[in-house]
Amino acid sequence: MLKRFHRLAAIAVGFVAIGFTLTTGDRFAGWQPSSAIAQSIVRSEGVWRTVYEQLPDFPRENQYISRETGKIAPENTLVSRLIRYHLYIKGRPPIYRLDWKLTLAEYLGLTGALETSDYPGANKLKKNPAEGDIAAIRQLNRAQRDALVQALVNGFSPQSARSPLPTPPSN
């Protein structure tokens, strides 16, 4: 009885696999990342600039010295490192506000320690920028963090899906 069940299960799995292959037309389609995520990863390099365009007063934290050149690396900014940490160290998608808030919670020390050994820039800059970045994020108030999250989501979203930045409450 058990052998018969195993045989039926194997046949069912085979039919499902064949059906999947026929409907997708590509036997490896299930293993490829979605095009939206792949496109977001490709265009992540310029997003930090759009964030600084939307938030011109946001801290740059780009005073660190490059190991290769021995000069200040002005392109290695807080936002560029935050994006790389979010995407490549944590593996989170770039288009959801909640995921960005989880990343900021790590910088604030609310969800555990930030992974500083693999932190972006740690091996390219003379000094690991993690400590300075954590301090800069902790200096932000809630409205500034919300504006940062919205600017990041806007940077990775298609033009039609962008939301306006939240306005800080007037005192």
With a threshold of 0.75, does the pTM exceed it? no
Give me the pLDDT at residue 25, please: 45
Q: Which residues of the chain have pLDDT under 50?
A: 17, 20-33, 40-42
pLDDT digits (tens, 9 = 90+) for 2-40: 566 556 555 655 555 455 444 444 444 444 445 555 554
Instruction: Specify whether the CB–CB gap between 171 and 143 falls below 8 A.
Output: no
- Look up residue 20 and give its amino acid: F
Task: Indicate the DSSP class of residue 77.
Answer: -
**Structure token digits, residue 125:** 């800059």
Give me the pLDDT at residue 158, please: 81
Bridge partners (DSSP) listed for residue 65: 72
